[in-house]
Amino acid sequence: MTAVVIRDPVHGDIALTDAEKRVLDTRDMQRLRGIKQTGTAYLVYPGCVHTRFDHSLGTCGVAKRIIDGLRRVGYNIHRDDEELVSVAALVHDTTHIPFGHTFEDERRIFPRHDSGRRIKAFLVDGEIGTVLKSLGLDQEVLRILSSRDPVSEGYPAPWKVQIVSGCVDADLLDYLRRDSYFSGLAQNYDDRIFSYFALEDGQLVVSMSKHGMDRPDARSEVLHLLRMRYFLTERIYTHHAKISSGAMISRAVELACRYGLEEDRLYPLTDATFLEFLKRFPPEAPDPVLGHLVTSVEERKLLKRAYVLSSARIGRSKRDSLIARYSSSVVERDELETEVASALDLEPGEVIVHCPPASFFKEIQVPVRTGEGISRLTALAPDHSKDVEALANQYEDLWKFYVFIPAGRTGLTERAGEACQALIGEPNEYCPGLR
């Protein structure tokens, strides 16, 4: 029974049950209003000020739409199961800290937001945990959000997990549309995607066949989603200014950790309170380097590219060597930053090395049903999968290694490029004088 209807700028009206409204009204859900969905992307696209609260609400709404689509093609889904899935979708990002993906996925300062410690703090010990328990949903919501591979783990109804955190899921279908809308980039998908979902052996699949015949329209729509995912990664998530600003905040957090900052200190914070917290850390004697990094991001005085290597140019073998050396080891990254700073007579914190781990296009593994049965999208016949393989290769080639330095000093970029080339042994791909 509907308790409240909320107007969302992306999906329209989203109707919530009383249980969903009780969860939404908790302190930790409301905290998400202060955490931007795309981190520092607002420094590139001013409209990217939408939040994880917006996204969580949208993901809940999309989960309901997926279930509605399944019902329309004949699947009998009990209302209790729908509420379980929609509540799990609503709380799936509750465990995020400010700028979390930057710290967790790019710099790996803290464990992922869906790790056991974070889930326990928010969804067991916190106010949401109390509400979930009173609703009798606590254990099943935890199982859904903790599952990595529901099929191999023997989860009795994998589709419940896959709607929330599968390959093509409610999370993806919300943020693709939401991030496009708020960035101002003209990207969208057709709502017909909701008619392509099916259940097979308890799994959520995309049906690419009907009456035993392949459906080119379904295949085209899934490929469109993948292209949209690639496009947003290229234009928003890996934009060099977003990477620079995220790296600067990450560097400040790394310094704070050396003064004893613990991850759980960040749990109650929003973006704004987090940045203020960092500028005054440690409380007894705030570090000026740490404060300068944060203030520079707030004023958009960002460090600039001086040295760039791309996976597309150096190949994956050399990429993996760089990752093993400078992503997996904070010590080696610090040493390189110190060497470059010394060569350029710069101060600590004025040189930042950014070497992200390799990322993979998980969405291409979506389970699909064709006239020949169930398989992964990547396992289709070669004439169907070549577009998928090409997109996956393009996606991997978005990886870049950066060395960032201060802007506006004559000749510094050229000197930094030469120093980095000598230290790393690879030609600099960044040539600011060329167009």
Nearest in space to 271 (alpha carbons), one of 92, 115, 114, 52? 52
**What percentage of the chain reaches a pLDDT higher than 90?**
76
Structure confidence at residue 289 (pLDDT): 92
| 357/346 Cα distance (integer angstroms) | 27
Each as own residue / partner, the long-range contacts of residues 209-213 (CB below 8 Å, 24 or more positions apart, any chain) are 209/369, 209/370, 209/371, 212/371, 213/371
What is the identity of the amino acid at 249? I
Going by pLDDT thresholds of 50, 70 and 90, the confidence category of residue 213 is confident
Rounded alpha-carbon distances, angstroms, from residue 167 to 214, 319, 398: 21, 26, 20
Show contacts of 43-49: CB within 8 Å, 24+ apart: 43/241, 43/242, 43/245, 43/297, 43/300, 43/302, 44/236, 44/239, 44/241, 44/242, 45/182, 45/183, 45/184, 45/185, 45/236, 47/182, 47/183, 47/184, 48/179, 48/182, 48/183, 48/236, 49/182
Q: What pLDDT score was predicted for residue 382?
A: 66
User: 10 Å Cβ neighbour count for 373?
Assistant: 9
Confidence grade of residue 381 (pLDDT, cut at 50, 70, 90): low
**E-strand stretches of 289-433:** 304-310, 352-354, 367-370, 373-376, 400-405
67-87 residue pLDDT tens = 999 999 999 999 999 999 999
Q: What is the residue type of 72?
A: R
Q: Is the pLDDT of residue 200 over 80?
A: yes
Give CA–CA dist 378/400, Å, rounded. 25
| Higher-pLDDT residue of 370, 343 | 343
d(CA 115, CA 111): 7
Average pLDDT of the chain to the nearest whole number: 92
- What is the CATH number assigned to the segment(s) 2-194? 1.10.3210.10
The answer for residues whose C-beta is within 8 angstroms of residue 214's C-beta and 6 or more apart is 208, 370, 371
- Could you tell me what percentage of the chain is helix, strand and coil, using 3-state DSSP and rounding each to the nearest 5? 55, 10, 30
Asked if 163 and 89 touch (Cβ cutoff 8 Å), the reply is yes
pLDDT of residue 154: 84
Provide the pLDDT for residue 384.
64
Q: How much is the pLDDT for 209?
A: 82
DSSP H helices, 157-239, are: 158-165, 170-183, 216-232
Average pLDDT over residues 184-202: 94
Q: How would residue 361 be classed by pLDDT, with cut points 50, 70 and 90?
A: confident
In this predicted structure, the answer to whether residue 408 has a pLDDT above a threshold of 90 is no
**What pLDDT, in 10s, does the model give residues 11-62?**
999 999 999 999 999 999 999 999 999 999 999 999 999 999 999 999 999 9
Which whole number is the average pLDDT over 115-143? 93
d(CA 54, CA 65): 17
Question: What CA–CA distance (Å, rounded) separates 196 from 206?
Answer: 5
Question: What DSSP state is assigned to residue 433?
Answer: T
Query: With bands split at pLDDT 50, 70 and 90, how would you rate the model's confidence at 319?
Result: very high
For the chain, first and last CA: distance in Å? 59
List Cβ neighbours of 357 (8 Å cut-off, separation of 6 or more): 105, 106, 108, 323, 327
Task: Band the pLDDT of 109: cuts 50, 70, 90.
Answer: confident
The pLDDT of residue 342: 95
DSSP 25: T
* Percent of the chain whose pLDDT exceeds 70: 98
Q: pTM of the full predicted structure?
A: 0.94
Summarize the confidence of residues 349-359 as an average pLDDT. Answer: 92
Contact status, residue 350 vs residue 341, Cβ threshold 8 Å: yes
Q: What is the pLDDT of residue 383?
A: 64
